[in-house]
Chain A
């Protein structure tokens, strides 16, 4: 009898561990780009997912919006993370909605090394979520996601100098002359 109980307990534990793994990320699937919680100053977004085993994955890109009085507003990664933390300790938190940017893609990797890549052009500023699910018989067995913030290219302020002030013509001439005589 004792043996049966232990066996049942083991089976239950194994099943539970599988349930827990639903929420974990697949070690054979890595979102390489964009890196987690990064900020990109561009209108082009490159998605690159590395797959190191034959797998079927589903990739979904959504724009995260804050919901205020049934209206959607742009948000930040910081706001989303703070809301998650508040929710975890039972405090009231802002509500967010995921607006799909495109239809979800399904990618089948038949090799032990391959990459899913896709680019999005003319991406408007905002916070985007890249969610990658590993599928087995159409069921999600692993899931991972990455948040990225897209921003307009910063206007380079006039006072930002990449190069130090140019030397005077005479100094430069002298320097060039010396270099040409004695070499570099």
Chain B
């Protein structure tokens, strides 16, 4: 009897051992064929050094426009955005939220008189916008596509107006609540001492009905500053450290290819994951889509992309030069696979940088997986920027900058028509920093500039003497 029990025990032990061996074999195969290393299981404090950022920090408008009436406007600081969100939240706490489509004329009539509106350069649906900020939503919001502008005007106090530039449609949400907070914000911004803007149409009259705002005079603290592209030296193994942040410390099954021009390529498997470190500092990472899992929404994809960026250098140059990122463009349903392509822009000293060659940070997400990442960050001279931070100068008159460069638009940019016809095609005009360079240029000067946007083109002119700096064709 005793022997029989022992045999059973032995058999059980054998079974357990077989199971353990099976699991061990599977794990080992996973380690060898997968991209994991034991380092990945270490408890590290990597989060401590990682930048933290919320998706909400990116869901911000490019402009907050305060209309004073008669085509005169002020631009409120983006610092007022949180107050505007609270105002929208208060306004939307209405028992019923009905949506109706309105005409362009109705929209413009409300927005032309005393009004406040936020303008977005990228696509985001109203439901996702509300979800990001915890604002009350309604099933009827599904009828509204993306929001390009959201605003409130005092001549229709029961309406929240929305413009969808993609579909070229206008909507209003009929609200029964009072917009006390939005009203107070509007009044305070109207009374605030700040530069006055008029539309281009107002300056040029006649048939020019362009609604782009430009100031008569503008004092700015924008000054030229020097930059270097982030270069990863092979000597001190910085490329290797960089690659480890993508593939882990164990480079099993990773091939390293060094091209004649100095470009270093790391490849996992047969190209399932590829990291390209270019000699000009541009990093590209591509990952084959696993094709598993369900499609995830806009905000979740943005969070995945943001987390990935923060894990791989964030928005800070290696010399400690910090940038404030903003969402510049979002492509939805990328290549028809339900993915997203998020393009980020960068700000220094509260002013946007415009790159002639390529956008600094792009991330593509497919089914919550990062499938493409591009990083082309420059390190700027922090001391130079800080030293000039409080020095304000008068920018060259914006309308005369356009007039003086009329021949440049014709001769260099290949545009045709009278000055008024060209001015009518402008879609944006604002001060910023322009980085005009060749693709392989590794250092240079970011110039304080007037940035003139056309449909498909962007031109840069010196902010103080209007000298043409260059232009780019937007594909």
Interface residues of A (CB under 8 A from B): 32-33, 35, 40-42, 44, 46, 48, 50, 111, 113-115, 117-119, 121, 153, 156, 160, 162-163, 166-167, 169, 172-173, 176, 179-180, 184
Q: Would you mind naming 26 contact pairs between A and B with Cβ atoms under 8 Å apart?
A: A32-B203, A33-B202, A35-B205, A42-B69, A44-B68, A46-B202, A46-B216, A48-B202, A113-B406, A113-B419, A115-B203, A115-B399, A115-B400, A117-B203, A117-B216, A117-B399, A119-B216, A156-B113, A160-B155, A162-B106, A162-B109, A163-B159, A166-B98, A172-B100, A176-B143, A184-B143
Cβ of B177 under 8 Å from chain A: no
**B239 at the A/B interface (Cβ < 8 Å)?**
no
Q: B172 — which chain A residues lie within 8 A by C-beta?
A: 163
Minimum Cβ distance to chain B for residue A118 (Å): 7
Query: Cβ of A163 and Cβ of B106 under 8 Å apart?
Result: yes
Collect the chain B residues with CB atoms within 8 Å of residue A156's CB: 113, 155
The yes or no answer to B391 lying at the interface (CB within 8 A) is no
* B7 CB, min distance to chain A CBs, angstroms: 69
Report the separation of the CA atoms of residues A80 and B69 in the bound assembly, to the nearest whole angstrom.
Answer: 27
In the complex, what's the smallest C-beta–C-beta distance from B403 to chain A, in angstroms?
4
Q: Are A46 and B102 in contact (CB under 8 A)?
A: no
The reply on B166 being an interface residue by CB < 8 A is no
Contact flag A167-B100 (CB < 8 Å), given A153-B69, A162-B156, A180-B143:
yes
Chain B residues with CB under 8 A of A169: 96, 98
Structural contact, B142 and A46, CB atoms closer than 8 A: no
CB nearest to A161 among chain B residues = B156
Residues of chain B within 8 A (CB-CB) of A35 are 205
When chains A and B are docked, how far (Å) is the Cα of A115 from the Cα of B167?
36
Instruction: Determine if B142 and A180 form an interchain contact, defined as CB atoms under 8 angstroms apart.
Output: yes
Question: Whole-angstrom distance from the CB of A164 to the nearest CB of chain B?
Answer: 9
Would you call A44 and B70 a contact (CB within 8 A)? yes
Q: A50, A118, A160, A162 — which one has the most chain B CB atoms within 10 A of its CB?
A: A162
Chain A residues with CB under 8 Å of B106's CB are 162-163
> B267 CB to closest chain A CB, in angstroms?
44
**Do A176 and B404 form a contact, CB below 8 Å, given A32-B203, A46-B72, A48-B203?**
no
Which residues from chain A contact B205 at a C-beta distance below 8 Å? Answer: 32-33, 35, 48
Contacts of A50 in B (CB 8 A): 204
Which residue of chain B has its CB nearest to the CB of A46? B198
Does chain A have a CB within 8 A of B140?
yes
Question: Min CB distance, B110 to chain A, in Å?
Answer: 6
**B interface: dominant SS:** mixed
Bound-complex Cα distance A117 to B419 (A) = 17
- Chain B residues near A115: list those with CB within 8 A: 203, 397, 399-400, 403
Nearest CB of chain A from residue B191's CB, rounded to whole Å: 12
B140 touching A176, Cβ below 8 Å: yes
User: Contact check: which of A41, A113, A121, A180 meets B70 at CB < 8 Å?
Assistant: A41
Whole-angstrom distance between the alpha carbons of A180 and B139 in the complex? 9
**CB atoms of A40 and B70 under 8 A apart:** yes
Contact flags B191-225 to A (C-beta < 8 A → 1, else 0): 00000101000111110000000001000000000
B196 / chain A contacts, CB cutoff of 8 Å: 44, 119, 121
Assembly CA distance A121 to B70 (angstroms): 13
Encoded as 1 (CB less than 8 Å from any A CB) or 0, chain B from 384 to 411 comes to 0000000000000101100110100000
> Would you give the shortest CB distance from A63 to chain B, in whole angstroms?
18
Evaluate whether A118 and B70 lie within 8 angstroms (CB atoms) in the complex, with A162-B110, A163-B102, A176-B139 already known: no
Which residues of chain B (97-116) have a CB below 8 Å from chain A?
98-100, 102, 106, 109-110, 113
Minimum CB–CB distance from B394 to chain A (whole Å) comes to 13
Contact with A along B66-91 (1 / 0, CB 8 A): 00111010000000000000000000
Beyond A40-B70, A113-B403, whether A46 also contacts B203 by CB under 8 A is yes
Closest to B198 in A: A46
The CA of A34 and the CA of B158, in the complex, are separated in Å by 34
Complex Cα–Cα for A84 and B70 (A) = 29
B174 at the interface (CB under 8 A from A): yes
**A41-B69, A48-B203 given as contacts; is B98 within 8 A of A167 (CB)?**
yes
Closest CB in chain B relative to A10 CB, distance in Å: 38
With both beta carbons as reference points, the residue of chain A lying nearest to B106 in the complex is identified as A162
Distance between B183 CB and nearest chain A CB, rounded to angstroms: 15
Contact with A along B133-177 (1 / 0, CB 8 A): 000000110110000000000011011000000010100101000
Contacts of B113 in A (CB 8 A): 153, 156
